[in-house]
């Protein structure tokens, strides 16, 4: 089928890549290029499971469909629209998740030996980016709520003190929001950093929706941060793994950013993922305000109902009287279950196994449920009913579990890159005290390192790992999956 340009020009203007991909998939083209399934002609099971439309849109770069490594037409137009939607100067499609966007963000700004200020509750992708770049992390602790057992966000004063102490910091890395929805005073932090000539890089994986409703916290781009990595798939509606890198270009070498993207990202970037970003952006611009208002109303309804359940409370900004929390993303229901005598891990499992309810995560004291643009009232009512049932079944437990959760201040002996390339050995966990760790260990989700390469193993860290193991936390990234041993640097 030949594309009718006049017919699709309006659609093209609204979603260039999404609509062009659809038109291209309907053209009568004989394919002698990749992918090898040739529109599923060679793999019928994929056609049966995914459908003919999806398979025909799984294409590789072609003269008509532009190339993400050097976008000039359709992809360029779509990325420009994405930048405009987010109030950025530039936007780039990233198809290997916000992990890839974070790697690109750091590699394009942080050179070997450059110091970067980082909160301890960062995602593991930041540590891995420093292994790649050779950057030198200076860790700061976010504020912490002991009664709730969660890390919050960093305070303006904490950033100020660190910049005063380390005059040669090149960049500050922020979370907007944290996994639990806590946002710092990002506008004032950006102003402070820029007054000192320091870049601001932001992990906005869970804030892709912020720019589209005024009742949500401010986005990194609107706060004038230099770069932000956003998971369009997490809260914006795109397909899983579809993310974006947003840039305010005043202090950033955009050409180096594109070069870094070409170094890190596949030359066969998925058109399905890129087109889903284009479609999600169009939806957010068109329907985002109303959809997010509905999500916020559902979240407030859920909070009201859940707070009436014995032993359970939804965390709110009013409960977090702390300098590290300027605002809260209300679409994230952080539900404290400590009063049930159960851990969040146990409630997570009960919801899934007994009630067919899947929440985002469980930790020692909490579960996290995300209310998104696709959530319905029926979904929320099922969650409320399940939590009420769990409460009634467990309130006979007289002993309420108390686990002392502490913030662990890492002692950095080696830069992550140096530690990564050192010779290593495995030793018994209990015998690793005062050794330099050679691997990352973390609970996933959220993927925040308990210890990372180059840090000293302490008794406190070992005890925390044992606590997580005893409570069936899902620990990952270590060589010994049973965690009886740990990888350390050879003396």
Predicted confidence (pLDDT) per residue in 373-431, tens digit: 999 999 999 999 999 999 999 865 555 555 666 667 788 899 999 999 999 999 999 99
Residue 220: both structure tokens together: 């990194």
**Domain spanning 416-489: CATH 3.90.100.10:** yes
Q: What are phi and psi of 16, to 5 degrees?
A: -55, -50
Which fold is adopted by the domain 74-283? 3.40.640
Inter-residue long-range contacts of 163-169, CB under 8 Å, 24+ positions, other chains counted: 163/117, 163/192, 163/193, 163/196, 163/198, 166/115, 166/117, 166/138, 168/115, 169/115, 169/116, 169/117, 169/138, 169/198
User: pLDDT digit string (tens) for 125-175?
Assistant: 999 999 999 999 999 988 888 778 788 899 999 999 999 999 999 999 999
The dihedral through the CA atoms of 59, 65, 12, 26 has a sign that is negative
Cβ atoms of residues 195 and 166 within 8 Å: no
Q: Please give the pLDDT value at position 464.
A: 86
Strand-pair category, 115-119 with 136-140:
parallel
Between 401 and 335, where is the model more confident? 335
Q: What are phi and psi of 261, to 5 degrees?
A: -60, -45
For the segment 448-456, the average pLDDT, to the nearest whole number, is 89
Whether 359 shows a pLDDT value over 90: the answer reads yes
Between 465 and 273, where is the model more confident? 273
Alpha-carbon distance 276 to 419, whole Å? Answer: 38
Which fold is adopted by the domain 291-394? 3.90.1150
User: pLDDT digit string (tens) for 106-127?
Assistant: 999 999 999 999 998 889 999 9
Alpha-carbon distance 311 to 390, whole Å? Answer: 10
For the chain, the domains span 5-57, 74-283, 291-394, 416-489
Q: Please give the pLDDT value at position 485.
A: 95
Q: Please give the pLDDT value at position 396.
A: 54
Alpha-carbon distance 389 to 391, whole Å? Answer: 5
Alpha-carbon distance 143 to 156, whole Å? Answer: 11
Rounded (10°) CA dihedral 443, 124, 82, 73: -130
Alpha-carbon distance 182 to 187, whole Å? Answer: 14
Mean pLDDT of the chain: 91
In 3D, which of 355, 442, 345, 429 has the Cα closest to residue 390?
Answer: 355
In 3D, which of 121, 176, 116, 166 has the Cα closest to residue 143?
Answer: 121
**Single pTM value for the model:** 0.91
Residue 198: both structure tokens together: 């320091």
Q: What are phi and psi of 441, to 5 degrees?
A: -130, 130
């Amino acid at each position: 089928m030949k594309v009718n340009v006049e017919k699709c020009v309006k659609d093209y203007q609204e979603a260039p890549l999404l609509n062009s991909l659809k038109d291209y998939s309907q053209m009568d083209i004989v394919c002698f290029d990749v992918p090898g399934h040739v529109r599923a002609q060679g793999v019928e099971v994929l056609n049966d499971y995914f459908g003919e439309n999806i398979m025909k849109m799984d294409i590789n770069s072609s003269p008509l469909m532009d190339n993400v490594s050097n976008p000039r037409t359709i992809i360029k137009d779509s990325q420009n629209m994405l930048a405009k939607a987010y109030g950025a100067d530039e936007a780039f499609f990233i198809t290997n998740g916000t992990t890839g966007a974070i790697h690109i963000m750091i590699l394009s700004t942080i050179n070997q030996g450059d110091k970067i200020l980082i909160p301890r509750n960062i995602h593991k992708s930041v540590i891995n980016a420093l292994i790649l770049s050779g950057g030198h992390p200076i860790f700061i602790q976010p504020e912490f709520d002991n009664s709730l057992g969660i890390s919050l966000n960093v305070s303006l004063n904490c950033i100020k003190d660190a910049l005063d102490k380390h005059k040669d910091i090149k960049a500050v890395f922020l979370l907007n929001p944290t996994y639990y929805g806590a946002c710092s005073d990002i506008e004032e932090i950006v102003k402070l950093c820029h007054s000192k000539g320091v870049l601001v890089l932001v992990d906005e994986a869970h804030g892709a929706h912020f720019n589209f409703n005024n009742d949500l916290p401010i986005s990194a781009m609107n706060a004038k941060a230099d770069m932000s990595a956003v998971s369009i798939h997490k809260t914006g509606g795109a397909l899983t793994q579809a993310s974006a890198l947003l840039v305010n270009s005043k202090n950033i070498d955009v050409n180096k950013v594109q070069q870094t993207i070409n170094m890190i990202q596949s030359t066969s970037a998925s058109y399905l993922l890129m087109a889903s970003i284009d479609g999600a952006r169009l939806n957010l611009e068109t329907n985002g305000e109303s959809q997010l208002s509905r999500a916020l109303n559902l979240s407030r309804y859920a909070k009201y109902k859940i707070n009436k359940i014995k032993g359970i409370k939804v965390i709110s900004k009013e409960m977090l009287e702390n300098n590290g929390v300027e605002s809260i993303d209300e679409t994230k229901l952080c539900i404290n279950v400590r009063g049930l005598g159960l851990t969040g891990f146990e409630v997570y499992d009960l919801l899934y196994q007994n009630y067919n309810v899947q929440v985002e995560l469980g930790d020692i004291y909490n579960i996290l449920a995300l209310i998104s643009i696709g959530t319905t009232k029926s979904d929320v009512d099922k969650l409320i009913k399940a939590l009420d049932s769990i409460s009634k079944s467990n309130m006979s437990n007289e002993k309420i579990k108390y686990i002392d959760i502490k913030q662990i201040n890492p002692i950095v002996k080696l830069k992550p890159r140096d530690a990564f390339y050192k010779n290593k050995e495995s030793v018994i966990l209990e015998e690793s005290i005062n050794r330099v760790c050679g691997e990352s260990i973390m609970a996933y989700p959220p993927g925040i390192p308990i210890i990372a390469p180059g840090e000293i193993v302490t008794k406190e860290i070992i005890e925390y790992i044992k606590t997580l193991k005893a409570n069936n936390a899902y620990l990952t990234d270590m060589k010994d999956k049973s965690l009886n041993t740990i990888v350390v640097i050879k003396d």
